[in-house]
Amino acid sequence: MFVSVSLYIFQFASKTGFSLDKFFQVPIIISLSVMSDQALNFEPLKDEELGFFSTEDEFDIVDLFESVISSSPEPNIDDISRHFTDGLIELAPGKCPTYQTFPCSTWSALNHIASRIPYRHYGQDVLVSIIRKLNEVEGWKGLPDIWIEMRECWNQCPSGEPKSKDDPEFTEEEWLSLNSFAARLYGGLGVGSFTSFAVYQVSDGLEGERKDKDQPGPETRLRVACEWVIQSGRRLMRESLLNSYANPLEKLESRYSNPYSIGPLFTGSRGFNLERWGFWKRRLIEVREDKGYGESTYELIDEAVETMAAIEKEIAEKFHRE
């Protein structure tokens, strides 16, 4: 059924000239970054004993970002991101011996900066604007190794175990903020290498608990899943229509051991597909009835459901007009 729906949509697009790519490039605006007056604190990143950074470049980049965003009299995202990008370019020539690794230091520093910015703070939008600008600058163009640096952050996922100096990890709030940043890059800039992050984090929050020992608590996993839906819902729908990485004929036992694998509550195909999209939406509606979550979690659930419904409605209305 779901495969035939996808086929129908693409047949329709082919006959009418309707561009799915252009459609999914138009953002759904359900949630805005509004906590612009909340103070930011990057001091923990500068603590060498915590061991987040391994190069001086990363510390310099944190200092640069802190200086630029704190000196701005108002939250002008484009101006702040431009000032930071200009400053970063000025830093690079002085790092000639390590210039080849400087982009990696950039991604590492920005990832950790993102973890210190609340998921609804305008600073998250500043970071996305910075990445967009750097994608046009020689040395950073094409975002070399950005996936590798983000994957390194996944190794610092909160586990509930005490931190050690040799093995730092994010707090659960920092983890949500980092995922908000990654989801914005995936949904807004189309960073395709983040696909595995997207499907895993939504699955992890909505398809039941896996056997992994090192993982955040259930409410944080739910919040992270919601944030991926909110920030990259259009991209998730596009991949679902394309049945990306899906294999409906694959044996069920094989669907659990793959970067795009399914969780224990879902028995459909791995990867992206409309059946899985529908399951995610149903689960959000179901968990909305659970008691004991914080108010902000219920707000995220509502935002995620509204985002999915808005995307579905737009597609249906577009087809109707055509």
- Chain centroid to Cα 311, Å, comes to 18
**pLDDT score recorded for residue 250:** 67
User: Other CB atoms closer than 10 Å to residue 307's CB: what's the count?
Assistant: 25
**pLDDT score recorded for residue 53:** 86
**pLDDT score recorded for residue 72:** 78
Q: Is the dihedral of CA 124, 125, 128, 130 positive or negative?
A: negative
User: Would the pTM of this model clear 0.75, i.e. be above it?
Assistant: yes
**pLDDT score recorded for residue 11:** 52
Q: Look at the block and give the residue holding tokens 């915590």.
A: 50
- Chain centroid to Cα 85, Å, comes to 21
For residues 62 and 70, the answer to whether their CB atoms sit within 8 Å is no
| CA atoms of 244 and 116, how far apart (whole Å) | 33
**pLDDT score recorded for residue 2:** 47
For residue 270, give Cα distances in angstroms to 234, 249, 256, 263: 19, 10, 8, 9
User: Other CB atoms closer than 10 Å to residue 26's CB: what's the count?
Assistant: 9
**pLDDT score recorded for residue 25:** 53
Q: What is the mean pLDDT of each run of 10 residues along the chain (322 residues)?
A: 48 54 51 62 86 87 95 87 95 63 93 97 96 93 94 88 69 97 94 89 91 79 98 95 80 64 88 95 96 95 97 84 62
**pLDDT score recorded for residue 48:** 80
| CA atoms of 285 and 321, how far apart (whole Å) | 29
**pLDDT score recorded for residue 49:** 76
Q: Structure tokens of 234? A: 């259009």
**pLDDT score recorded for residue 60:** 94
Q: Which amino acid is at 298?
A: Y
